[in-house]
Amino acid sequence: MKVAITSTGNSLESTVDPRFGRCAYFAIYDTDSKAIAFIPNPARHVEEGAGPKAVQQVASYEAKKIVSGEFGMKIKPLLDSLKIQMIVVKDPEKKIMDIMEMLNH
């Protein structure tokens, strides 16, 4: 299963980006193959509608879960309709590798 993690950078040492719509990168982690890909978020600089754009993006990677620091109120119904689960991690110190490790429980 694929999990999207919002990331501040493109390495395993990067921390979880607290913003969903305007995160710098999406780390797409495949929990089966253990492969990870960092994809720059094309929505991060748009004036408006970054959230819905980011949702589209994540959906196109076929991610079933998203890990981020926050989701705007408008995002929840969108993700609900796509049956993508939201996981809110509030610890700003958490690194992508930490999240991967937790997902491998």
Partner 1 sequence: MNHSSLSLDRTNVHYMSPRTKRLRKVINPPVIKGFKPYGPDTGKGKAEPVMLHYEEYEALRLCDYDLYNHHAASIFMGVSRPTFTRIYSAARQKIARAFVEGRQIAIEGGKVYFDSDWYHCGSCKCFFNNPEKDQKVGECPLCGDTEKISGVEGDPEKFVPETSVEVGTELCYCPQCGYEQRHQQGIPCKQEVCPSCQSHLTRKTLPGKQPARHRGGRKH
Binding positions for partner 1, rule: CB under 8 A: 18-19, 65, 67, 69-73, 76, 79-80, 83-91, 99, 102-103, 105
Cβ 37 to partner 1, closest distance in Å? 20
Would you list the DSSP string of the chain?
Answer: -EEEEEESSSSTTSBBPS-STT-SEEEEEETTT--EEEEE-TTTT-SS-HHHHHHHHHHHTTEEEEEES---TTHHHHHHHTTPEEEE---TT-BHHHHHHHHT-
Nearer to partner 1 (CB atom), residue 9 or residue 18? 18
Cβ 9 to partner 1, closest distance in Å? 19
Nearer to partner 1 (CB atom), residue 96 or residue 99? 99
